[in-house]
Amino acid sequence: MLSKYLVGSVLIIGAVTLLPGCASISEEECVAGNWADLGYRDGVNGKARDRITKYVETCGEFGTGVDRSAYLSSYEEGLTHYCTYDKGFARGQNGSSYNTVCEGPMAVDFRAGYDEGYFEYELRQKYKQFENDITEAENELDDVKYRLSEPDITEDEKDRLRKKKKRLRRELEDLRWDFSSFKRKYDLDW
């Protein structure tokens, strides 16, 4: 009984969490009909053009219409503030997928920014991977050293652990060399 309650609660919370991402609109917003403002906000935030379809559907349920021309003209104005190099860079830098709302000439700066930002994102990911791989190799080497210090291991086990220790030291040295080369290549000092 409790597990059904928990599952139901999680589903409800998940659905409520996802709602802000949908093109939801309240009855009050439909009735107010400030379509130019809504279009501008959607454009500035890089929302998809087809959100208007959801607005038409939802407001139709409330018995109100949508001023498509006011929405779309303001939406296009809002996009001019979204489709910039800086917005593209920020989107790429945080690893988000490319947003296809910017088209034609507006896409040029946005795409250039996105590509630069995404390149930086990939560098940071590679940097973190090197750090993680080095830490993992160091921990594994420490574990082998500890196991070698145990008094009750067999000679065969000691031989196997010594070989493993030698291999891990080489791997760690290679990782550190590759990491250093990577940082030099991209002039990174993070």
Instruction: Tell me the pLDDT band of 3, cut-offs 50, 70 and 90.
Output: very low
Task: Assess contact for 15 and 41: CB atoms under 8 A.
Answer: no
In sequence order, what are the residues at sequence separation of 6 or more whose Cβ sits closer than 8 angstroms to the Cβ of residue 50?
none
Position 152, amino acid: D
Q: Tell me: pLDDT of 154 over 50.
A: yes
The pLDDT-based confidence of 190 (bands split at 50, 70, 90) is confident
13-57 pLDDT per residue, tens? 344 333 334 568 999 999 999 999 999 999 999 999 999 999 999
For CA atoms 10, 11, 12, 17, the dihedral sign is: positive
Q: Which of 117, 133, 139 is nearest to 182 (CA)?
A: 133
pLDDT class of 153 with cuts at 50, 70, 90 = very high
Residue of 128 and 19 predicted with greater confidence: 128
In the predicted structure, residue 5 carries a pLDDT above the cut 50: no
- Its pTM stands at 0.75
Q: State the average pLDDT over residues 146-167.
A: 96
